[in-house]
Amino acid sequence: MDMHMRMASIFIAVLSGVIAVGLAALYTLKLRDIRRRRTAGVYTAKHEDWITYVLANLDGEEPLYPPPGRLNQEERRVVQERLIGWIEQFRGEQQRKLIALCEEMGLVKRHLQRLDSPFEWVRLDAAYYLGCMRSHGAVPGMMKLLASMRFSPMVFIVGRAIAKCARHTDELRDMVHVLLAHKKEAHPLIADILAESEIDIAAMLETFLRSGDEERVRLALAAMRKHSLAGSGDTLYKLTASEQADIRLKASKLLAKDAVSFSEGRARKLLIHPDGEVRALAAQAIGKLGLRSCLEQLRLTMADPEWKVRFYSARSMAMLGEEGFAELCEAAKTDTEAGAEEARDVIREEMRRRESASRETGWVAVRGRSQPAYEYVPLTQDDQVHA
C-alpha cells in the first residue's frame, strides 16, 4: 500500500513539473510575442515616412530606395515583413519594383546564404521568404532541398515557393515530379500550388492530360477546375471511359460544364454509360445547357435503376421549357413507380417555384383542364390588391 502511495506521489510530482514547465514555456512565448509586436510598432512608426514614400511611388518610373540609415536585425525583419505583404498584394510593375527593392536591400542574398544552412528548419524558412520575394536564382537550391526532404506538409511549402519563383515550365515540371513521387493523393493541393506561378501552364496541363499516367491525369483534372483548357473536350470524353472511377467522374464533370464539348451525341452516349454517377452528371448537364434535342432520351432515363439519374432527368425536363414540363407531367402518370415518384417530386418543387415567382410578377400558375402541362393566366388588378 505504501509503495502504491509513493508511486502515485511521484507520478503527481512529475506531472506537476511537466505542467509547470509547459505553462512557463507558454508564458515565455506570450511575452516574446508581445515584445515583438511592440518592437514592430516602434519601428513601423520610425519608418512611417519611408512607408508612405514607397506606396506613393509604386506607380512611378523611378526605382524604389531602401529606408535611410543602417538597419538593425529587428528593423530589417519589420521592413521585410512589410515588403512581403506588399509583394503578395500587388501585381505587375508594382510587384517587380518591390522585388527589386528586396534585392537591393540584400534580403534575397541573405536568404540565399541561409538556404545552404546545415539545419533543415533554417533552409525551410529561407525557402519561404525567397518564394515570397520571387527569387529565380533560388530555384536550384530549393529543388535540391525539396528532393532531399521526406514527406511532410513542409514539402508543399517548398513546392509553393518554387512555383512562385519559377520562370520556365521545366522547373515547374520537375517540382511536380518530386511532389507526385510521394503518392499522397494531394492533387488538388499541387494544382493550387501551380496556380501560384505566373507561367502559362496550359501546355503542361494538356501534356499531363494526354500522358496516360494516372497521377498526372488526376493533377491535370484538378487544375482544370480553375484553369480551363481550350480544345480539351475530346480528351475529356475519352477519359469518361477510364477504369478509375475518380478520373471518369472528374472528366465527366469538366466535360458537362463545356457547352461546346458537351454535344448532343456525347450527351446521349453518356446517358447510357455503365457508371450511374456519370449518367446522373449527363442528365443534370442536359438541363443546365438547354439541350432540348435530348428530351426523348431523358424520358427514357426516367426508368433508370439509379434514383439520382431519375431525379436529375426529371429536374432537367422541368428546365427544358413547357415541352419538357409536359413530358415530365406525362412521366408522372405513366412511367414506373420509381420514375413517377421522382417526376411528381420535381413537379411539386417546380410548382412552388412558379407560384413564388407569380406573386412577384403578377402571374399565377394553374393546371390546364385538357392537358397535364401548366399554363399561366394574368392576375387582375383586384386580384393583385387582395393578394
pLDDT given for residue 325 in this prediction: 86
Whether residue 364 is predicted with pLDDT greater than 80 in this model: the reply is: no
Domain-located, residue 372: yes
Domain-located, residue 8: no
Whether residue 374 is predicted with pLDDT greater than 60 in this model: the reply is: no
At 371, the pLDDT band (50, 70, 90 cuts) reads: very low
Domain-located, residue 176: no
What total of structural domains would you count in the chain?
1
The predicted model gives 279-291 an average pLDDT of 93
pLDDT given for residue 276 in this prediction: 94
Whether residue 158 is predicted with pLDDT greater than 50 in this model: the reply is: yes
199 in Cβ contact with 172 (< 8 Å): yes
Domain-located, residue 328: yes
Q: Is the dihedral of CA 201, 204, 207, 211 positive or negative?
A: negative
Domain-located, residue 320: yes
- Burial category of 172 from C-beta neighbours within 10 Å (exposed 0-12, middle 13-18, buried 19 and up): buried
Q: Which domain holds residue 325?
A: 281-387
Domain-located, residue 115: no
pLDDT given for residue 336 in this prediction: 66
Supply the pTM of this predicted model: 0.79
DSSP state of 369: S
Task: Cell 408522372: give the residue.
Answer: 332
Q: Is the dihedral of CA 181, 187, 190, 191 positive or negative?
A: positive
The predicted model gives 332-350 an average pLDDT of 81
Q: Which of 94, 84, 96 is nearest to 58 (CA)?
A: 94
pLDDT given for residue 1 in this prediction: 60
Whether residue 338 is predicted with pLDDT greater than 90 in this model: the reply is: no
Domain-located, residue 51: no
What angle do the packed helices 107-114 and 120-132 form, to 10 degrees?
Answer: 150
Domain-located, residue 135: no
Bridge pairing between strands 374-378 and 363-367: antiparallel
